[in-house]
Amino acid sequence: MALLRALRCGLGARAAGCPAGPLRPQPPQGRALRVGPRLASAASSKELLLKLRRKTGYSFVNCKKALETCGGDLQQAENWLHKQAQKEGWSKAAKLHGRKTKEGLIGLLQEGNTAVLVEVNCETDFVSKNLKFQQLVQQVALGTMLYCQNLKDQLCTYRKGFLNSSELSDLPTGPEREGSLKDQLALAIGKLGENMTLKRAAWVKAPAGFYVGSYVHGATQSPSLHNLVLGKYGALVVCETSGRTADLEAVGRRLGQHVVGMAPLSVGSLDDAPGGEAETKMLAQPYLLDPSITLGQFVRPQGLSVVDFVRFECGEGEDTAEAE
């Protein structure tokens, strides 16, 4: 009897114009159908994902995880990504610590009569050509430049200084950025998977009446790297000027080339005779671009005098340290 009643109810419903087929439960009146959150926000989620990817450079997988973790909040997702990357970077840095870093780059950054040279090392030449590694060198150069510019002193002559690895690591990344250069180092290690070191930096500040010549061997420059010049060798040459030099930039570059190529140990004086013990004195050395004269003979008519220099060679001292 129950079966007959059910069949009759079904036939009655069809007769009343109801669609054929099994009956489907209907939602209670007054309540709208709920659409799944993924369907409702698919377009906006994709847009947020693409925006986060473009802004941070992290993978789609990590960006998606960040947005899910932070409930779709773009700023929180960006902060979460940076923190996670830093944690992973420090973990990877600990695992890779001790691996030899003989490759890398010298970076030169100059603003007027303030110039810095930095050296950042990695394991392979392949990684040194990676933009992310070069951006790390840029951050180190900018951090060193900021440090130098913040030295509030009245200059009556030039000043020169050096920063070792630990001093570099503690420098802030910039006036408006949180964290230190060692944090940026950890991020780079996490992204590129090689051991890296912030080896050293040198800076020079000079007042009017001085000129800082500079040169980087095999230089490459990218507009995206804030006028940073990269290479394997670099030099800064401090000159006192008399105002009679026609082209300080060209002369400063040639002096830097000489320092890179001839690797002097001291400036020396114009009175030093060439050869013998004077072969490591800059002004007594044969001029790199014209060995028929000494560098002193090249400098004398230029209307300037060389007072100091800095020379960096990438990987310098690594073999000695390894032997010890």
Shared-domain flag, residues 198 and 65: no
Residue with tokens 């440090």: 147
- Over the chain, what is the mean pLDDT? 81
Is position 23 within any domain? no
pLDDT exceeds 60 at position 266: yes
- Residue in 100, 119, 114 with CA at minimum distance from that of residue 231: 119
Shared-domain flag, residues 164 and 303: yes
Cα–Cα distance for residue pair 231/270, rounded to 1 Å: 31
Residue with tokens 């990817």: 53
Confidence of residue 91 (pLDDT cuts 50, 70, 90): low
Highest mean pLDDT among 34-38, 46-50, 312-316: 312-316
Considering its fold, how many domains does the chain have in total? 2
Q: Is the distance from CB of 232 to CB of 261 less than 8 angstroms?
A: no
**Per-residue pLDDT, 210:** 93
Tell me how far apart the terminal alpha carbons of the chain are, to the nearest angstrom: 100
Q: Write the CB contacts of 178 (distance below 8 Å, at least 6 apart in sequence).
A: none
Name the residue with higher pLDDT: 136 or 153: 136
CATH number at residue 291: 3.30.479.20
Is position 89 within any domain? yes
Residue type, 77: A
Confidence of residue 162 (pLDDT cuts 50, 70, 90): very high
Shared-domain flag, residues 156 and 291: yes
Shared-domain flag, residues 224 and 115: yes
Average pLDDT for 21-25: 47
Q: Is the distance from CB of 233 to CB of 195 less than 8 angstroms?
A: no
- Locate 305 and state its tokens: 């005098």
Is position 14 within any domain? no
Domain end call among 36, 68, 97 = 97
pLDDT digits (tens, 9 = 90+) for 195-239: 999 999 999 999 989 999 999 998 887 777 878 999 999 999 999
Domain end call among 50, 76, 97 = 97
Shared-domain flag, residues 179 and 82: no
Name the residue with higher pLDDT: 147 or 274: 147
Is position 38 within any domain? no
Shared-domain flag, residues 187 and 273: yes
DSSP 134-153: HHHHHHHHHHHHHHHHT---
Is position 82 within any domain? yes
Shared-domain flag, residues 289 and 143: yes
Cα–Cα distance for residue pair 73/79, rounded to 1 Å: 10
Residue with tokens 């209307």: 303
Cα–Cα distance for residue pair 144/108, rounded to 1 Å: 11
Cα–Cα distance for residue pair 81/70, rounded to 1 Å: 10
Cα–Cα distance for residue pair 139/126, rounded to 1 Å: 20
Confidence of residue 58 (pLDDT cuts 50, 70, 90): low
Is position 292 within any domain? yes
Shared-domain flag, residues 92 and 120: no
Shared-domain flag, residues 68 and 134: no
Name the residue with higher pLDDT: 20 or 60: 60
Shared-domain flag, residues 309 and 226: yes
Domain end call among 50, 81, 97 = 97
pLDDT digits (tens, 9 = 90+) for 168-195: 999 998 666 567 898 889 889 888 889 9
Shared-domain flag, residues 64 and 137: no
- For 212, half-sphere exposure in the C-beta direction (CA atoms, 13 angstrom radius) is 25
Containing structural domain, residue 93: 59-97
Q: Is the distance from CB of 280 to CB of 264 less than 8 angstroms?
A: yes
Is position 275 within any domain? yes
Cα–Cα distance for residue pair 12/34, rounded to 1 Å: 31
Is position 153 within any domain? yes
Name the residue with higher pLDDT: 53 or 102: 102
Name the residue with higher pLDDT: 175 or 163: 163
Cα–Cα distance for residue pair 280/267, rounded to 1 Å: 9
Core vs surface per residue 6-32: b (16+ CB within 10 A) or e = eeeeeeeeeeeeeeeeeeeeeeeeeee
CATH number at residue 84: 1.10.8.10
Alpha-carbon radius of gyration of the chain = 33
Cα–Cα distance for residue pair 316/32, rounded to 1 Å: 72
Shared-domain flag, residues 107 and 93: no
